[in-house]
């Protein structure tokens, strides 16, 4: 089989080697942080499933969970992001409750937005809700001074429906093409009138949704499920780009990576073994060996240490096996990172002196989110 025939077969199967879909984890298969557990959104910019962030200025109005409600996803998909309203909240004029996806500028540089050559793109997705009506969202730039509100209609309750929205490329404004935020995409769950605008046109302001869109959080127990999210160049939606699980995980790990295994939620006291070695350089201080990341990070990450329940220790620390056994009062004082890995400074008592090597147990997560 020739290479051209192989590529044609790949295209017909809906799989691409060219990163057609600029959304990462659009099929909602990766959930490193929560491993499928429900998360009540109590603070703004809470990451839920990988690459999907919950925005809010009113706490505890909705929860997010991979496969919430355990309904059957649309054909060709195994997972979805599920939102559940936790109250019947009346939206104020400046309220913002939404699910967002931030795309790195390097991944949309070819859109040429902000120039005369700006390309038209199409957003497509599968959606299901216990409510019907006109729903809204918006695309925005990094500076949040360019916005394109959009609408779509859900016609039947609790039924998967396929939506496509074509967006003309913005010839104005500044659209970053570096490793910062290139495009912000928001799906409104309840957005106030002062941060909503006319659908279908570009605006020089910070708009999160379209005027008059349905509020999911306005009905207690309302559900909003979404999957198969794709953003691609062109005026027509094409078949969803299916990437391998390993590829999708690696793409997610550019922004967030953890020592916890897939299927284990990131939290202090999780039942998990992760070991490293530390070497003492004083009677109480150690330095860990260099720990490589699986994926090069978008930017210098923040590394957070965690304990495991295998050996008790402080929540944000590791236990060290010293002269008298496991030292549970040890503390990780700093993690020094590059784009490629990190090492940690650990303090612990009962050491034998300078140059001794000890076993250390714990876990970690590294975040370089947009």
The domain that holds 10 is classified in CATH as 2.60.120.260
At residue 213's C-alpha, the angle toward residues 207 and 216, to 5°, is: 105
Q: Which of 15-19, 130-134, 213-217 has the lowest mean pLDDT?
A: 15-19
Q: Can you tell me the mean pLDDT for 171-194?
A: 98
Final residue of a structural domain among 192, 218, 253: 253
What local confidence, expressed as pLDDT, does residue 266 receive? 94
One domain, residues 230 and 362: no
Alpha carbon distance 85, 217 (integer Å): 5
Higher pLDDT, 2 or 314: 314
224-249 pLDDT per residue, tens: 999 999 999 999 999 999 999 999 99
Residue 289 has pLDDT above 50, yes or no: yes
Domain containing 71: what range?
3-253
Same-domain pairing of 216 and 306: no
Quote the pTM value: 0.93
The reported pLDDT for the residue numbered 270 is 85
Q: Supply the pLDDT for residue 14.
A: 41
- Per-residue pLDDT for 91 more than 60? yes
What is the arithmetic mean of pLDDT over 119-147?
A: 98
Average pLDDT of the residues in 322-331: 85
If we measure between CA atoms, which residue out of 348, 353, 352 comes closest to residue 362? 348
204: Cα within 13 Å, side-chain hemisphere: 5
Sign of CA dihedral 315, 318, 319, 322: negative
With respect to residue 322, please indicate whether it lies within any of the assigned structural domains.
yes
For the segment 93-108, the average pLDDT, to the nearest whole number, is 98
Higher pLDDT, 148 or 273: 148
Nearest to 88 by CA among 54, 121, 57, 62: 62
pLDDT at 8: 35
**Contact residues for 244 (Cβ-Cβ < 8 A; gap 6+):** none
Domain count, the chain: 2
The reply to whether 201 and 332 lie within a common domain is no
- C-beta of residue 122 within 8 angstroms of C-beta of residue 185: no
| Confidence (pLDDT) at 4 | 36
Q: Is residue 149 part of a domain?
A: yes
Q: Is residue 268 assigned to a domain?
A: no
Q: What is the overall mean pLDDT for the chain?
A: 93
Over 80: is that where the pLDDT of 45 sits?
yes
Residues 243 and 333 placed together within one structural domain of the fold: no
Same domain for 330 and 201: no
Residues 113 and 59 grouped into a single domain: yes
Q: Are residues 335 and 227 in the same domain?
A: no
Select from 188, 220, 253 the last residue of a domain. 253
Chain CA centroid to CA 4, Å: 35
> Is residue 25, in this structure, part of any structural domain at all?
yes
Looking at the chain, the whole-number percentage of residues with pLDDT higher than 70 is 95
| 94 shares a domain with 34 | yes
* Mean pLDDT calculated for residue range 4-27: 62
Cβ-contact 74, 227 below 8 angstroms: yes
From the CA atom positions of the chain, what is the Rg in Å? 23
Task: Please report the pLDDT score of residue 12 as a whole number.
Answer: 35
Residue 78 pLDDT exceeds 90? yes
What number of CA atoms fall less than 13 Å from residue 56's CA on the CB side? 20
**Distance between CA atoms of 43 and 174, rounded to whole angstroms?**
29
* Residue 49 shares a structural domain with residue 141: yes
Indicate if the pLDDT at residue 13 is higher than 50: no
Length of the chain in terms of residues written: 370
Instruction: Write the DSSP symbol of residue 6.
Output: H
Q: Is residue 16 part of a domain?
A: yes
219 and 288 housed in the same domain:
no
Q: In what order do the strands lie in the sheet with 256-258?
A: 256-258, 363-367, 302-306
Alpha helices (H) along the chain = 3-12, 245-253
Q: Identify whether residues 135 and 197 lie together within a single domain.
A: yes
- For residue 3, pLDDT beyond 80: no
- Residue 270 in domain: no
Instruction: Judge residue 17's burial from the number of C-beta atoms within 10 Å of its C-beta, 0-12 exposed, 13-18 middle, 19 or more buried.
Output: exposed
108 pLDDT above the threshold of 50: yes
Same structural domain, 284 and 201: no
| Residue 351 pLDDT class (50, 70, 90 cuts) | confident
In a domain, 164, yes or no: yes
Q: Is residue 97 part of a domain?
A: yes
Q: What pLDDT is stored for residue 287 in this prediction?
A: 96
């Amino acid at each position: 089989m020739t290479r051209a025939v192989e590529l044609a077969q790949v295209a017909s199967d809906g799989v691409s080697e060219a990163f057609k879909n600029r959304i990462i984890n659009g099929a909602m298969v990766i959930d490193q942080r929560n491993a499928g557990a429900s998360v009540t959104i109590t603070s703004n910019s809470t990451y839920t499933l990988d690459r999907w962030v919950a925005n809010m200025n009113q706490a505890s109005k909705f929860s997010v969970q991979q496969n919430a409600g355990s309904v059957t996803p649309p054909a060709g998909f195994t997972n979805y992001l599920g939102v559940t309203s936790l109250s019947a909240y009346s939206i104020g004029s400046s309220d913002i409750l939404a699910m967002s996806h931030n795309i790195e500028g390097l991944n949309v540089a070819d859109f040429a937005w902000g120039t005369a050559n700006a390309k038209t793109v199409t957003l497509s997705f599968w959606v299901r809700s216990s409510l019907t009506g006109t729903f809204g969202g918006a695309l925005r730039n990094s500076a949040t001074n360019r916005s394109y509100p959009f609408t779509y209609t859900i016609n039947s309750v609790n039924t998967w429906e396929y939506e496509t929205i074509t967006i003309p490329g913005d010839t104005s404004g500044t659209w970053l093409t570096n490793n910062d935020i290139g495009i912000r995409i928001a799906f409104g769950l309840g957005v106030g009138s002062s941060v909503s605008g006319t659908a279908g046109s570009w605006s020089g302001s910070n708009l999160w949704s379209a005027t008059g869109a349905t509020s999911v959080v306005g009905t207690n127990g309302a559900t909003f499920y979404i999957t198969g999210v794709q953003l691609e160049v062109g005026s027509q939606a094409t078949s969803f780009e299916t990437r391998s699980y390993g590829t999708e995980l690696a793409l997610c790990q550019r922004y967030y990576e953890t020592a916890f295994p897939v299927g284990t939620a990131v939290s202090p006291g999780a039942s998990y073994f992760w070991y490293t070695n530390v070497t003492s350089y004083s009677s109480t201080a150690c330095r860990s060996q260099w720990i490589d990341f699986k994926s090069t990070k978008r930017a210098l990450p923040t590394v957070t240490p965690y304990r495991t329940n295998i050996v008790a220790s402080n929540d944000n620390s590791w236990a060290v096996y010293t002269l008298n056994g496991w030292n549970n009062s040890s503390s990780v004082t700093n993690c020094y990172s590059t784009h490629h890995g990190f090492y940690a400074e650990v303090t612990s008592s009962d050491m034998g002196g300078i140059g001794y090597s000890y076993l250390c147990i714990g876990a970690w997560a590294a975040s370089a989110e947009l």
